[in-house]
Chains A and B, each alone.
Chain A
Amino acid sequence: MTALSHPVLPKVMRRSFLEASARERVLGLADAGSLQEFCPPAERLASPHLATLGLSRAFDDGVVVGRATLAGARVLLAAQEGRFNGGSVGEVHGAKLVGLLQGALVSKPAAVLLLLDSGGVRLHEANAGILAISEVARAMLAVRAAGIPLLVLLGGSCGAFGGMGIASRLAHRVLMSEEARLSLSGPEVIETVKGKEEFNSRDRALVWRITGGKTRRALGEADVLVEDDIAAFRQAAINTLAALPLAPAADGLAALGQVGLQLRQQALLARSARFAGVRDGDAVITQLSALSAAQAALADATTFEQALAAVSHATAAPDTAQVARRALQADQLLDTEDQAFADRLFGAGSHQLRVNGHFLAGTAQGPAGPLAVVGTRDRAPIGLTLALAMAEAILNVIRQDEVLPTEARRAIVLLADTQGQALSRHEELLGLNGALAHLALCVDLARRSGHPLLTLVRHEAVSGGFLSFGMLGDRICALPEAQVRVMDLRAMARVTKLPLAQLEALAQTSAIFAPGAENFYRLGGIHALWSEQDDWSRALADALQHLDRDDQRAALGAARGGRVLAQSVAERVCALAAQVV
């Protein structure tokens, strides 16, 4: 008996995707010699904001965008460099992605491939960063709706977190290695706020069981598990594109329509019920595959895919889904504060709003016809249930107005009052990022079905919670008490290791990172600020007359002088990506 009982096949010529740089990844993915980069490093599109803070910059701001061919087909692609500031999205970085996606709408390539590797917003330019991610999300939704296949490839060490975790799930398909991670809040953030018992961020095995590729693939949050090999990613992308159904009706995945979203809503509800209280990925993998936890840990990508295919994906019994559904109904009367707020906004007796915890929904009589109202209240932490409740309410509005001509469909007022996403290991395990992406898809479907969308920010609008619905509005207005932010300055000073005094001083002149609705107004992320003295009914009527059906926020930010690069960089990249060569 020798120790060498297992003949291991030599991994000849295997080039790790994980260890490669962004450029090496795109070069290895595309057909040899076909890559043409847009705005390459020599153009020095570095971040001016990092320079202001005295921090190192990169010539490409950490993202490669360009065109290439993949197995002969014309594609547009982007790759984030995870090693530069954690692949984080700042103004220029985000604008390059937006430009690429907008160009795709014109040149209609065979696919757009996004090799994401990002912790989310770049905190050094936090406000511009979250707006950029929101613009990336809007552009992804547009590409998707245009029926252009959109793939996200995850194989880097940063994975996709924060806003990029939500954006990833807006793609038609997610291809992912075991080594990559996909989630919303980082384990460190959850541990800091909720304690080590909730999520021990130092337990690497646990972190991967919650957020890693195998758990995500088992849940269906990723569509293909890929070996950590650039050639394997290339082949998986080619195979996935060949198998992608493009007819909108097929399974709704090309332009996920109403039926597709309703099916997904049911699947997400059933999954929530089935895995209620589950806090470890092993329980998910063993239930959804034919493997034990130990077998799953050792399985290569092919074995793992086979083990998933061997189990029929039974959904939870309908009555379980019904129980979960009850948590989605807003059926309680408003408290006195909400009542006074709604009276001032819509007029006393002109609204029928109901609440359920942090969830609020109903109807109101608007200045020019009936309105639907969907939103959150009381500084809601947005978790799976609340996200699905809002998605359900929006799908209901779409269904109720289906019989009406497009122009007669009700405007939806999105009331945003959120402290951000809920922080919990369980919610991360079940893919809160995916649930928020689902909500975003429902909001986008409402827009495409003809429903005008008006967002009103009431008390707080913070990060991921705001990103997934409020920031998708055709017009976004902030009420006087509204606090809009990514992170407060103290926390930002801790994370960026910059002195608080330096950040406070810079915040006096720059709208780029400091909290506040006024700063978001200057950047174009808030269309209008309402004051305490305003007549809100009149302001509401005015807002409903001034809706932007397309995303104009970068232009607004440029016109207001707060965000001077986003529009011009996006336009430059878009002009190149729009060409067919």
Chain B
Amino acid sequence: MEYFELSLPSQAVTLAAPAPGNTTDVLCGVVASGNLEILVEAHSGADVRFMVETTADGFRETWDAVLTQFAGSHASGGLTFTMNDVGSTPAVVALRLAQAHESWLRAGSRA
């Protein structure tokens, strides 16, 4: 089990937080083998923050590459992505992050 946090620059996310009680909209994925869950929350800073708990030890470089790529391609400054991971491949992580980001925007647009 490995835990790390990472803060990266990213363009500010454009939409406000979803209404309280609608948190089901900002959880993505399931904690299961080869999968992960991502919880999206707002914070007051300008950076995008990642808090990762993963069962696969020793893949920090790969994580950094995937998360840096995501921060560059998705305007997510002001968001925290907290993850519970059970050995997802980089492709699955990238996909879930994109889904989580999209869910946040969708929820925010309704709020």
A interface residues (Cβ-Cβ under 8 A, vs B): 21, 23, 27, 35-37, 40-42, 54-60, 62, 64, 81, 83-85
A and B contact pairs by CB, cutoff 8 A, 10 listed: A40-B24, A40-B27, A42-B23, A42-B39, A56-B1, A57-B53, A57-B84, A59-B39, A64-B24, A84-B32
Q: Are A27 and B24 in contact (CB under 8 A)?
A: yes
Given A36-B21, A56-B53, answer yes or no on A41-B39 (Cβ-Cβ < 8 Å): yes
> How many pairs of residues, A versus B, come closer than 8 Å at their CB atoms?
56
Closest chain-A Cβ to B12's Cβ sits at a distance in Å of 21
Counting CB contacts under 8 A, is B30 at the interface?
Answer: yes
CA distance A2 to B86 in the complex (A): 48
CA distance A57 to B23 in the complex (A): 18
Nearest A-chain residue to B40, judged by Cβ: A42
* A residues less than 8 Å from B23 (CB atoms): 37, 40-42
| Binary A-proximity of B24-54 (CB < 8 A = 1, otherwise 0) | 1011001110010101010000000000011
CA distance A36 to B22 in the complex (A): 7
CA distance A302 to B1 in the complex (A): 48
Nearest A-chain residue to B32, judged by Cβ: A83
Given A41-B27, A84-B32, answer yes or no on A58-B37 (Cβ-Cβ < 8 Å): yes
Q: Which of B33-92 contact A (CB under 8 A)?
A: 35, 37, 39, 41, 53-55, 82, 84-86
CA distance A57 to B35 in the complex (A): 12
Interface size, chain B (Cβ < 8 Å): 20
* A residues less than 8 Å from B32 (CB atoms): 83-84
Nearest A-chain residue to B33, judged by Cβ: A83
Q: Are A56 and B55 in contact (CB under 8 A)?
A: yes
Nearest A-chain residue to B21, judged by Cβ: A36
* A residues less than 8 Å from B37 (CB atoms): 41, 58-59
CA distance A288 to B2 in the complex (A): 55
* B residues less than 8 Å from A21 (CB atoms): 30
Q: Are A56 and B24 in contact (CB under 8 A)?
A: no
Closest chain-A Cβ to B101's Cβ sits at a distance in Å of 16
Q: Are B27 and A23 in contact (CB under 8 A)?
A: yes
* B residues less than 8 Å from A85 (CB atoms): 31
CA distance A55 to B35 in the complex (A): 14
Closest chain-B Cβ to A115's Cβ sits at a distance in Å of 14
Q: Are B24 and A37 in contact (CB under 8 A)?
A: yes
Interface centre among A37, A42, A55 (most CB of B within 10 A): A42
* B residues less than 8 Å from A64 (CB atoms): 24
Q: Are A56 and B85 in contact (CB under 8 A)?
A: yes
Closest chain-B Cβ to A63's Cβ sits at a distance in Å of 12
* A residues less than 8 Å from B82 (CB atoms): 59
* B residues less than 8 Å from A27 (CB atoms): 24
Closest chain-B Cβ to A465's Cβ sits at a distance in Å of 31
Nearest B-chain residue to A62, judged by Cβ: B31
Q: Are B27 and A59 in contact (CB under 8 A)?
A: yes
CA distance A35 to B35 in the complex (A): 25
* B residues less than 8 Å from A40 (CB atoms): 21, 23-24, 27
Besides the known contacts A56-B54, A84-B30, 4 further A-B residue pairs in the complex with CB atoms under 8 A apart: A59-B27, A59-B82, A60-B27, A81-B30
* B residues less than 8 Å from A60 (CB atoms): 27
CA distance A86 to B23 in the complex (A): 24
CA distance A21 to B21 in the complex (A): 19
Closest chain-B Cβ to A65's Cβ sits at a distance in Å of 12
* B residues less than 8 Å from A83 (CB atoms): 30-32, 35
Closest chain-B Cβ to A36's Cβ sits at a distance in Å of 5
* B residues less than 8 Å from A62 (CB atoms): 31
Closest chain-A Cβ to B76's Cβ sits at a distance in Å of 17
CA distance A57 to B54 in the complex (A): 10
Nearest A-chain residue to B29, judged by Cβ: A21
CA distance A35 to B21 in the complex (A): 9
CA distance A27 to B103 in the complex (A): 14
CA distance A27 to B39 in the complex (A): 18
* A residues less than 8 Å from B35 (CB atoms): 83
CA distance A410 to B32 in the complex (A): 50
